Amino acid sequence: MKLVVSLHDVHPSSLAAVAQQRAELRARGVRRFSLLVVPRWHGRESVESDAQFVKAITGWQEEGDEVILHGWTHSCTGMKERAGDWFWTRLYTSREAEFHLANPYETRIRITTGRDLFDRLNWRTVGFVAPAWLMAPHTVPILQELGFAYTVTRQHVIPLAATAQPITSTSLCYSTRSPWRRTASRLWNPSLARQLRQAPLLRISLHPGDVMYPTVWHQVCRLTEHALQAGRVAQTYRDCATSQPGIHPLTTDAPRAA
Instruction: Please give the average pLDDT of every successive group of 10 residues along the chain, which has 258 residues.
Output: 96 97 98 96 89 98 97 71 56 64 90 96 95 90 95 94 86 93 96 95 97 97 97 95 55 43
Q: Where are the alpha helices (DSSP H) in 80-161?
A: 86, 98-101, 104-120, 139-145
* Predicted local confidence at residue 65, as pLDDT: 97
Residue 64 covered by a domain: yes
Domain residue limits at 169: 2-253
* Predicted local confidence at residue 204, as pLDDT: 98
Residue 78 covered by a domain: yes
Closest CA to 205 of 31, 29, 56, 18: 18
Residue 258 covered by a domain: no
DSSP 142-203: HHHHTT--EEE-SSEEEE-STT--PEE-PPEE---SSHHHHHHHHHHHHHHHHHTTTSSEEE
Residue 1 and residue 202 in contact, taking contact as beta carbons nearer than 8 Å? yes
**Does pTM top 0.85 for this prediction?**
yes
Residue 138 covered by a domain: yes
What's the number of domains the chain is made of?
1
Residue 219 covered by a domain: yes
Residue 115 covered by a domain: yes
Residue 206 covered by a domain: yes
In the chain, % helix, strand, coil (3-state, to 5) comes to 45, 15, 40
* Predicted local confidence at residue 256, as pLDDT: 53
Tell me the C-alpha distance between 248 and 98, whole Å: 31
Tell me the C-alpha distance between 252 and 206, whole Å: 25
CATH number of 234's domain: 3.20.20.370
Residue 150 covered by a domain: yes
* Predicted local confidence at residue 71, as pLDDT: 93
Query: Hey, what amino acid is at 218?
Result: H
Helix (H) or strand (E) holding 217: helix 214-229
What is the CB neighbour count within 10 angstroms for residue 224?
Answer: 24
